[in-house]
Amino acid sequence: MKTPFIFLLSCFFMFTATSQKDSFSLAQIWDGSFRTQGLNSLHSMNNGKQYSVLNFDRSTGSTSVDLYDYVTFSKVKVIATSKTMEAIPYFTNYTFSSNELKLILETNTESIFRHSVLGHYYVYDIELDQLNIISENKIQEPTFSPDGTKVAFAMNNNLFIKDLITGKTNQITFDGEKNRVINGITDWVYEEEFAFVRAFEWNINSNRIAFIRFDESDVPEFSMDVYGKDLYQTQNVFKYPKAGEKNANVSLHFYDINSDQTSIVSLPKTYIDFYIPRIKWTNDADLLSVQYLNRHQNQLDLWLINPVKVQANLVLSETDLAYVDVTDNLTFLQDNSFLWTSEKDGYNHLYHYSKNGKLKTQITKGDWEVTAYYGYNEFDNVIYYQSVENGSINRDVYSVKLNGKRKKRLTTQEGTNDASFSADFTYFIKTFSSAKIPTKYTLNDSKTGRLVRNILDNSTLLNSLNNYKYSNKEFSTINVNGNELNMWMLKPVDFDATKTYPLLMFQYSGPGSQEVANKWNNSRDYWHQFLTQQGYIVACVDGRGTGFKGSNFKKLTYLNLVKYETEDQIQAAKQIGSLSYIDNSRIGIWGWSFGGHMSTNCLLKGNNVFKMAIAVAPVTSWRFYDTIYTERFMRTPQENPGGYDDNSPFNYPELLRGDYLLVHGSGDDNVHVQHTMRMVEALIQANKQFDWSIYPDKNHGIYGGNTTMHLYTKMTNFLHEKLGDKRIN
């Protein structure tokens, strides 16, 4: 298995001992001065003994790709540096060719949507020390052919191939047009919900490309005003299929390099209104695997297609009463048998199938979930994976033989363990953290898990936190509506059980999600820490529908999103509020996105429990959200109108009794500001007073410049005014 780029850069903000104050400020959380140390864009080299890292030189502003030794962690050499490249003052990412003789360097990028970017890309020949731009125009997803002689890329919704030997660029599709046809790049909804952008793949012989074509002609358009700084605002218009509306028509195509011909794939089975969420070439250069998913997303078919013989065989069909998850775990072995993950026994596990789709072995079994698949070592016949065998809030790394025997637990510290394996599976870099221990990186032996050497431990964070009032998360479970739910609670350091405290509940609650996890803090956790220093108790409960406790628990909310989740949060608040040290007249709840929908619903339907709520970028009606995500859990509005409307808060604004803060970014391409505007209008017509704020041109993350600081100051002030008696200026 070829080891992909592994991004280990921690995005968490930490605190150092820059002050002797007992409490830290809001500014310390988001000013960017307290990032943890991490490893940037680590790539294991083919020899399995070395790895490369992207490094940034703050003194010169240049970047470099540097080669290191796994065992000694000493730098072996500089592979490429922008110091010697006049055309590139810096680069932000890199990709090796299969033979590791060339690099694609990325620079001058601009975001399109969540995952997609446009940029200038260069090919750097390491041996010749030569740099050549792929295209003078900004392009997307440049990808080496396996033999390293060509680069395929997308530009203006069409596909191109550049021959690195002749320098000639060949255009292979010609009908691409914005908001009409896209070749080889996913549309908005595929990118957001199936989490991939590049919809083209080279075969192993570098003589054929498979790609998906998206015809968006009939997909409804959504437009957003962009206010910017000019005299007149502009509009961003893009195709966005809302639940029940028309999706793009997708088709699968092959381009043959030798004949310069493109063909369309037809199957012996007729599909109507379907998705193609994954394509992947097998180890046979003439055999492509394609996954077809029906619109209800409860049947996923795996096809093996031979473009030379014009054959297509259905080798696996996965069905579910609710929905089937799409993953990136499909792995073909040398004999074209394959590994697959499935929830068909009630928990997510690994399976081994023959090349014809016959089940050979269920590799993992038990009432626990496989949470990550790392790869297969064919030399030792060993699979590496991550699971929650040690409790649903923890993660550990395991190895197991292909036949399911001789399983080994390779990590022993209780918390969240992750792994990045060397190309030959000799070593893995373990990333560990817990709620009490910040992120640590170690090099470990992959056969036993034995520690080879420490890399980074961020131990200075623990020392610096001794200078602050810092509370440890208390993990527990709470029995709510007949279910044992995972929970954490943060109390003030000077907690006094004879006193009473206001309670703020935080949650996300989306299908398969998890907020109660034994891992180190992110910036939001530090805001919760800050609130405990201000005299609040903060608690989080993962209700029904969340993940890693089996398929039945996760899919119980099918067709009724937010109904059971809301009931669980309301009941949990009642039970926590009954504790002697909680002031049950001062209970609030907050959340973002799905969590904003939840906090809104809880305030309305639990108006005798919650005094206030904050909703950031909330969904307020699933009718306004996209097809793939929404219909996976709800089917279409035409089929399930009650499921859509019975839990949409703008349908019952009259239930508002408490204090409500509603926040949205006007440039949110994901959860459109339409959700908030409809909620606002419903509350106005119901004569309900509330607070709200729109952040101009900000997307779903609501960040940029001083935005995050402003938002969290606003939320903090709202909390103090409605639940407490303090205010921050």
pLDDT tens profile 154-199: 999 999 999 999 999 999 999 999 999 999 999 999 999 999 999 9
- How far is it between the farthest Cα atoms of the chain? 82
Residue-level pLDDT at 468: 85
Which active-site residues does the annotation give?
593, 668, 700
CATH code for position 616: 3.40.50.1820
Distance CA 141, CA 155 (A): 9
pLDDT of residue 29: 87
Give the residue from 496, 657, 500 showing the smallest Cα distance to 578: 500
Instruction: Give the Cα separation of 363 and 337 in Å (integer).
Output: 14
**Tens-place pLDDT, residues 524-557:** 999 999 999 999 999 999 999 999 999 999 999 9
Beginning with the edge strand found earlier in the chain, give each strand of the sheet holding 50-57 in spatial order.
6-8, 39-44, 50-57, 62-69, 75-81
Expressed as residue numbers, the domain containing 613 is 469-722
Residue 180: inside a domain, yes or no? no
For residues 562, 564, 568 and 571, what is the CA-based torsion angle, rounded to 10 degrees? 110
Task: Give φ, ψ of 319 to 5 degrees.
Answer: -125, 160
Asked whether residue 536 is assigned to any structural domain, the reply reads yes
Give every CB contact of residue 196 below 8 A, 6+ residues apart in sequence.
Answer: 115, 186, 190, 278
Bridge partner list, 112: none
pLDDT over 90 (residue 670): yes
**Residue 172: CB atoms within 10 Å:** 21
Provide DSSP, 152-205.
EEEETTEEEEEETTT--EEE-----BTTTEEESB--HHHHHHT---B-EEE-TT
pLDDT band for position 466 (50/70/90)? Answer: confident
Q: Which of 316, 262, 313, 260 lies closest to 284, judged by CA?
A: 313
pLDDT (mean) for 395-409: 98
Domain assignment of residue 706, yes or no: yes
Please give the helix or strand (H or E) that residue 536 lies within, else none. none
pLDDT in tens, 587-630: 999 999 999 999 999 999 999 999 999 999 999 999 999 999 99
Of 294, 317, 321, 301, nearest to 555 by C-alpha is 321
689 burial (CB, 10 Å; 0-12 / 13-18 / 19+) is exposed
Which residues, at least 6 apart from 59, have a Cβ–Cβ distance to it below 8 Å? none
Classified as helix, coil or strand, 423 is coil
Instruction: Name the residue with higher pLDDT: 645 or 12.
Output: 645
Three-state DSSP string of 91-114 = CCEEEECCCCCEEEEEEEEEECCC
Task: Give every strand in the sheet of 349-353, ordered side by side.
Answer: 331-332, 338-342, 349-353, 359-362
Identity at 686, one-letter amino acid code = A
User: Quick one: angle between helices 594-605 and 563-577, nearest 10?
Assistant: 60
pLDDT the model gives residue 728: 43
For CA atoms 711, 715, 720, 721, the dihedral sign is positive
**Which uninterrupted H or E stretch holds 326?**
none
Tokens of 173: 């599709």
What does the pLDDT read at residue 33?
52
CA distances from 678 to 168, 448, 518, 672, 673 (A): 53, 57, 38, 11, 9
- The answer on pLDDT for 217 being more than 80 is yes
How far is it, in rounded angstroms, from Cα 416 to Cα 548? 14
Quickly tell me which residue has 């002797």 as its tokens.
20
DSSP letter string over 651-662? Answer: G-GGG--SEEEE
Q: How far is CA 600 from CA 26, 167, 507, 570, 701, in A?
A: 25, 57, 12, 12, 19
Cα 619 from Cα 626, distance rounded (Å): 11
Residue 412 located in a structural domain: no
SS3 644: helix
Q: Which residue has the tokens 């048998």?
A: 337
pTM, whole model, 2 decimals? 0.94
Question: Does 461 map to a domain?
Answer: no
> Looking at residue 41, what is its pLDDT?
77
Backbone angles phi, psi at 52, to 5 degrees: -115, 155
Is residue 131 included in any domain, yes or no? no
Nearest to 417 by CA among 460, 372, 482: 372
pLDDT tens figures, 336-384: 999 999 999 999 999 999 999 999 999 999 999 999 999 999 999 999 9
How much of the chain exceeds pLDDT 90, in percent? 90
CA–CA dist 530, 240 (Å, integer): 39
Predicted confidence at residue 7, as pLDDT, reads 30
Span 221-225, average pLDDT: 96
**Cross-strand bridge partners of residue 250:** 214
Query: Residue 42 — very low, low, confident or very high, per pLDDT cuts 50/70/90?
Result: confident
Q: Residue 503: which H helix or E strand, with range?
A: strand 501-506
Cα–Cα distance for residue pair 22/626, rounded to 1 Å: 46
Those residues whose C-beta lies under 8 Å from the C-beta of residue 238, and which sit 6 or more positions away, are 179, 188, 221, 222, 223, 669
How many structural domains comprise the chain? Answer: 1
Asked if 491 and 532 count as a contact pair (C-beta separation under 8 A), the reply is yes
Distance separating the N- and C-terminal Cα atoms of the chain: 55
The residue written with tokens 């390293």 in the block is 148
Mean per-residue pLDDT for 436-443? 94
Q: Is residue 359 part of a domain?
A: no
The pLDDT tens digits of the residues spanning 693-712 come to 999 999 999 999 999 999 99
**Distance between CA 630 and CA 628 in Å, rounded?**
6
Q: Is residue 496 part of a domain?
A: yes
Structure tokens at 424: 């030959």
Confidence of residue 59 (pLDDT cuts 50, 70, 90): confident
Q: Enumerate residues 6+ apart whose C-beta is below 8 A from 186.
A: 116, 194, 196, 197, 198, 199, 212, 214
Radius of gyration for the chain, computed over Cα atoms and rounded to the nearest angstrom: 26
Q: Exposed (0-12), middle (13-18) or buried (19+): which is 282, by Cβ within 10 Å?
A: buried
Helix locations, 181-308, DSSP H: 188-193
Residue 32 has what pLDDT?
61
CA–CA–CA angle 492, 507, 591 (5° rounding): 100
Q: What is the mean pLDDT of the chain?
A: 94
Asked if residue 386 lies in contact with residue 417, where contact means CB atoms within 8 angstroms, the answer is yes
Q: How far apart are CA 420 and CA 455, in angstroms?
A: 13
The amino acid sitting at 342 is S
